[in-house]
Chains A and B, each alone.
Chain A
């Protein structure tokens, strides 16, 4: 093979996140942070409620991030960020990007009223939810982001979760916020672009990032990136943007929509599922996908 002279890098090389952090091997939540900070840059402040990331960052007085973090209570990601933004404005700092960075539990469940409040007021913050589909930090309990069929410690195999994942993106769209998007750590360039775009918009912005978790999903750490890619290719987690709650843009339309089976086979949390369950899941996925295609149709 002919050697090129330089590395072809699709992302900037500046890192605001450092090594030595405490995430499990193959954790995608760390990739999400790494890419987001590359996009938002040094003038960023984070509010992080209780979640894996409050551990990953490291014990006081150490931190693996090169930006300030405010560790806040579990239900307060959005309200802390709203307050921090207001405080910064009062001292004349109009530049700093204020980010609420929470897990799915902290967003879909306990943090939803603070998030809804901030979105309704259109507070000038970016709310980022990294979604590993359960309460991982406390030992894999179900959340309303856990998908149908999944095992967790509170939905054991015999009583696996029999409700679908809550559609948080539809809830946010109903708030008519200026910008929201879904993203995925297996598509870093797309994620980077969306974070950059969010930074330039005023008002409440919402990013929902899909982040595989080998520990909670009982998947192999090396499959983290593969799983993320599969979830987009089989339309379980489509990548799209919504502006003002109305204008839907589909970012990736798989050339050939893959069946969900392979994705489920790679994760221990779904090992108990039978053919009939997978059929049911496939039908649900097809249904949501059709709905999204309609929403994203050019009007």
Chain B
């Protein structure tokens, strides 16, 4: 997704900067939820049949489609394992996170 709103975290320097109308000014993209992960999905594209099921079921919108193949965005993937569980050809493996 191309972010429409600000990506970085917004910090108000003083009360005067706070808008009168409380409305959202930025996205949550500053919050790199990839750090929550213990295990990471690794896609073996040789087995991928381009069904898009991993993309469809990712709760964190962390599977992007590049050149007609799924690519994991490790900045945000929380390692829930749904993609690996649902992949019909089992070409996604959940492996220990290398810290």
Q: Which residues of A contact B (CB under 8 A)?
A: 1, 3-11, 13, 15, 17-23, 25-28, 30-31, 34, 57-58, 60-64, 66, 68-69, 188, 214, 220-226
User: How would you classify the secondary structure of chain A's contact residues: helix, strand, loop or mixed?
Assistant: loop
Q: How large is the interface on B (under 10, 10 to 19, 20 to 34, 35 or more residues)?
A: 35 or more
User: CA A27 – CA B19 in complex, angstroms?
Assistant: 32
* B26 and A62 within 8 A (CB): yes
For A4, what are the chain B residues with a Cβ–Cβ distance below 8 Å?
49-50
| B-side interface mostly | loop
A283 to B79, CA, bound (A): 37
The chain B residue with its CB closest to the CB of A224 is: B82
A69 x B80 contact (CB < 8 A): no
Residues of B within 8 A of A23 (CB): 59-60
Apart from A26-B82, A62-B25, A221-B80, what are 20 other A-B pairs with CB-CB below 8 Å?
A: A7-B69, A7-B70, A10-B52, A18-B1, A19-B33, A19-B60, A19-B75, A19-B76, A20-B27, A22-B31, A26-B59, A28-B59, A63-B24, A64-B27, A64-B28, A220-B81, A221-B82, A222-B80, A224-B80, A226-B86
Answer whether residue B20 sits at the interface, using C-beta atoms and an 8 A cutoff: no
B90 at the A interface (CB under 8 A): no
Chain B residues contacting A27 (CB-CB under 8 Å) are 59
Q: List 13 A-B contacts (CB under 8 A).
A: A5-B68, A10-B56, A18-B3, A19-B75, A20-B28, A21-B60, A28-B59, A61-B23, A62-B25, A63-B27, A66-B4, A224-B82, A226-B86
